[in-house]
Structure 1
Amino acid sequence: MQPYRGRAARGAAPGPAGFGCPKDQPGRHVRPVPLPPVQQNLNYCPQIFWVDGCAEAGPPGPPAPPGAPFPPPVPDRSRKPRAGRERSVGFLVMFLLILVAFTGVGLSILKIFHLEKEVDELRESASAEHTAPASQKLTGQKEQPLRREARKAAHLTGNPAQQDLPLEWEPISGHAYTSGIQYQDRGLLVSEPGLYFVYSKVLFRGSTCDSQLLAHVVYKRNPASPGSLVLMEDKAINFCTGQRMWARNSYLGAVFKLRKMDSLHVNVSKIALVNFEESKTFFGLFKL
């Protein structure tokens, strides 16, 4: 590097030895001043020149590159951090465990539902087996499902508007009713064969006793058979004495095996001697 030669400012006062010397003094030469060794980490190294015994700072040079005896290693970016991979694997394992747990719970609930349905079916079948009537179990007959049907029955009461025989009855008013049995042609028509309990009650009464015959008869008819068949009968003679009022009850009742289309009727010896109050004279039957 060439030494710098310049002039000091005119009129400048001389400074201390080696510094601030005027540059217009002839015969003075500029020589560089050796500097102490500079630290490697300094970014800027100024140059100082000595001009005829005066120290003068040279123009600033370009900044020196930072000293770095060993540059830091460049990280390898082609490899992913190991901690990130381990975290993603942990999340995946946790998600799979939760999925397996929920699947197991769903299967358990479905299995419990099917078991409850099977238990209900078994209970229904067991209850159906034990609903057969006790009479069927005692007689050894085949058990059948319980039928909730109205029992076939009828109860007729006396009707005062009588004209001729057989007796005419009241089928619907008061205590009278019919269920599965028809009241037709002054009699009860059987629509289903089987065992029936048949009953009839008549109250006879009079103001004077004349010792006449009293008769009370229950009989049946069927279109397949000619004529009529007597089922029950009651007769009375000498049931009163003297010239005074009298009364006599006649009750008939028994079990009969009736066929389909059998019709049952009631006859008496004399209509004028019958008391037709509904609690004193009636007629009916019911299926066993």
Structure 2
Amino acid sequence: MEDHTKHARSVPLPAMQQNLNYVYPQIFWVDGCANTSTSCPPTPPVAPFPPPVPDRSKKPRSKRDRRSGSFLVISMLILLALTGVGLSMFQIFHLEKELAELRESASPEHIPPALEKLIEQKEQLVKRERKAAHLTGNPVQWDLPLEWEPVSGHAFTSGIQYRDRGLLINETGLYFVYSSVLFRGSTCSNHVLTHLVYKRNPTLPGSHVLMEDKGINYCAGQKIWARRSYLGALFKLRKMDSLHVNVSKIALVNFEESMTFFGLFKL
């Protein structure tokens, strides 16, 4: 029996390669269209995106919100001012205590040069620190500018002289000046309430307004009313400047020391 495998014809390799080399048609994509032989229709123009819809959930801030924000800023400024004054007075207290101990430890007739120099340096430091004043309301008023209490209660002057109803600057520099006035009445007249701080200098004519506040529509009907006015800002003051406070009507001012006051401190 003959082997059939001997009669099998072998196919040459080039012939097999020719059968496998099949040419595929070329396909091109143009704007999302498969293009072989025919042209694609023109692409329609793309419509622009609509504008974003405004968020109507956020309402504009009301006058009450703005007033609350202003009151918060003013409260923070007052707190910072009082904190700075408190720290300064704390440092002054310790310096004065150290000076007293140094004077007690040394004989007034025989003070060593090194100790004398140290005492002098500390005295100069104390003088530089003492640049602050806080005046409170004085119910005894005769005329403008307002009269103040410089000693009793919370009032004090340190490195700043109170003279002629005002604060006298004895060293040029940057100062934070503040003033608070409480207006109160039993009847409503709706007169304009004015509260201002101004300065004078003997080398310059007249006076110059530093800060001013005016109040209108502060009461309604015949009810008892009250309105507080606060002024505070940073100024560069010169030596011999004197600062004073004016109001539109003294009879409407409440002179409680926690409500009506005037002061400054040097930075």
TM-score by length of 2: 0.53
Amino acid at match of 1:210: S
Q: Distance in 2 between matches of 1:212 and 1:244?
A: 15
Q: Which residue of 2 aligns with 1:42?
A: none
2:154 is the alignment partner of 1:183: no
Q: Distance in 2 between matches of 1:236 and 1:184?
A: 29
SS in 1 for 2:251: helix
- Following TM superposition, by how much is the alpha carbon of 1:147 offset from its aligned partner in structure 2, in angstroms? 4.0
2:145 is the alignment partner of 1:166: yes
The ranges of structure 1 where at least 4 consecutive aligned residues each deviate by more than 6 angstroms after the TM superposition are: none
Matches within 5 A, 1:42-53: none
Q: Which residue of 2 aligns with 1:251?
A: 230
Q: Distance in 2 between matches of 1:240 and 1:206?
A: 9
Q: Which runs of 5+ in 1 are unaligned?
A: 1-145
Which of residues 226, 229, 241 in structure 1 aligns to 2:205? Answer: 226
Q: Which has the higher contact order (CA 8 A, sep 6+)?
A: 2
SS in 2 for 1:226: coil
Q: Distance in 2 between matches of 1:271 and 1:211?
A: 15
Q: Distance in 2 between matches of 1:255 and 1:163?
A: 30
Give the root-mean-square deviation of aligned CA atoms. Answer: 1.2
2:168 is the alignment partner of 1:192: no
1:218-240 Cα offsets, whole Å, 9 max, x none, are: 00000000000000000011111
Task: Report the number of matched residues.
Answer: 143
2:190 is the alignment partner of 1:216: no
Q: Distance in 2 between matches of 1:237 and 1:249?
A: 12
Q: Distance in 1 between matches of 2:177 and 2:129?
A: 18
1:69-120 Cα offsets, whole Å, 9 max, x none, are: xxxxxxxxxxxxxxxxxxxxxxxxxxxxxxxxxxxxxxxxxxxxxxxxxxxx
Q: Which residue of 2 aligns with 1:153?
A: 132
SS in 2 for 1:272: helix
Matches within 5 A, 1:1-288: 147=125, 149-288=128-267
Q: Distance in 1 between matches of 2:176 and 2:129?
A: 16
Q: Which runs of 5+ in 2 are unaligned?
A: 1-123
Q: Distance in 2 between matches of 1:177 and 1:198?
A: 15
Structure with higher helix content: 2
| Aligned residues with identical type, % of pairs | 78
Amino acid at match of 1:195: L
1:168-225 Cα offsets, whole Å, 9 max, x none, are: 0000000000000000000000000000000000000000111111000000000000
Q: Who wins on radius of gyration, i.e. which is larger?
A: 1
Q: Distance in 1 between matches of 2:201 and 2:211?
A: 17
Q: Which residue of 1 aligns with 2:107?
A: none
Amino acid at match of 1:285: L
TM-score by length of 1: 0.49
- Following TM superposition, by how much is the alpha carbon of 1:150 offset from its aligned partner in structure 2, in angstroms? 2.5
